[in-house]
Each structure stands twice: as C-alpha cells, then as structure tokens.
Amino acid sequence: MKTFNVNIVTPDGPVVDTNVELLSAKAQSGELGIMAGHVPLVAPLQIGAVRLVLGDKKSELVAVSGGFLEVRSDQVTILAQAAEKAENIDIARAKEAKMRAERFLQDKQDQVDLKRAELALRRATNRLNVYEGKL
C-alpha cells in the first residue's frame, strides 16, 4: 500500500517522523482519516489521539494537545503545542494533572479558570487513554 510521510512537530522539537499508510485524527469538525494522495488541507485538531497505521497491522498512538494538521502532496505535518508517543507519556504526571483538574472543577471558581481546568482535564485524560491504548 502506498505510504506517506508524517511529521509531528512541537516547540520542544520533532516528536514523530515516519512513513504511514493511514492517519486518523480528531479535527474540530470531526474525525478525519488521511491516506496518500489526499488534497492539500489545513484543519485545527481537538485534544485527542492521532492514530498512525504503519502497515503490517501495526499502529501507533500519539497524544496530541490541540494544534493543527496540514496536508500537502504526500506529506502530513501536525503542529501541536505538546505531543507524546504512547511510550513516552509520563503517566504519574498525567494522573496527577487529572486529579488536580477534577478537584478544581468540583470547587467551581470563576469562569476563566473553569475553562482552563476543563482543558487540563481533557489533556490529562487524553494522555491516560493513549497510554492505555484506547482511542
């Protein structure tokens, strides 16, 4: 099957640079599947997992915190403020962040902080899900 190159770049450096058969990501407008030969596209991403299907039924999950996806002739770039491969996720930190965010949401303070806590909770949950291999 035809493959294409995927780059996931964060401000702290590149996270993924590999060839895949299929990439599926959660864009803000809904789930998005990309294969080789896709038209050039830009789409913002939700906080969620990006699945990279490498062929031979092997696939890899990457936790991506927002950012956006850019497709151009057989080259996909994801620019995110944070991204981790499943094996690189700091599970203890994610658990702690999740607990902190949950505690914050229960206290219910002013609106801005509430929104931030919600985002933090989503990022932490996303990391935990990716770590456990759930989509």
Partner 1 sequence: MASLRDIQTRITSTKKTSQITKAMQMVSASKLSRAESNAKSFVPYMDKIQEVVASIALGSKDVRHPMLVSRPVKKTGYLVITSDRGLAGAYNSSILRSVYKKIQERHTSKDEYVVIALGRVGRDFFRIRGIEAIESTIGLPDQPSFADVKEIVRKTVDLFSEGMYDELYMYYSHFVNAIQQDVTEKKVLPLTDIQSSGGRLSSYEFEPSPEEILEVLLPQYAESLIYGALLDGKASEHAARMTAMQNATDNAKELIRSLTLQYNRARQAAITQEITEIVGGAAALE
Helix boundaries (H) for the chain? 91-107, 111-131
**Which residue's CB is nearer to partner 1, number 51 or number 123?**
123
CA-to-CA distance for 63 and 112, rounded, in angstroms?
Answer: 25
| Minimum CB distance to partner 1, residue 42 (Å) | 5
Residue selected from 68, 122, 128, 129 as contacting partner 1 according to rule CB under 8 A: 68
| Minimum CB distance to partner 1, residue 40 (Å) | 5
Residue selected from 22, 35, 54, 82 as contacting partner 1 according to rule CB under 8 A: 82
| Minimum CB distance to partner 1, residue 61 (Å) | 20
Q: Residue 91: which residues within 8 A CB-CB, separation 6 or more?
A: 127, 128, 131
Q: Are 77 and 20 in contact (CB under 8 A)?
A: no
* Interface with partner 1 in residues 102-121 (CB under 8 A): none
Q: How many residues touch partner 1 (CB under 8 A)?
A: 27
Residue selected from 6, 23, 25, 32 as contacting partner 1 according to rule CB under 8 A: 32
CA-to-CA distance for 105 and 113, rounded, in angstroms?
Answer: 9
The vertex-67 CA angle with 63 and 68, nearest 5°, equals: 105
- Burial (CB < 10 A; 0-12, 13-18, 19+), residue 102, is middle
Q: Does 70 bind partner 1 (CB under 8 A)?
A: yes
| Interacting residues with partner 1 (CB under 8 A) | 7, 9-14, 27-29, 32, 39-44, 66-68, 70-72, 77, 79, 81-82
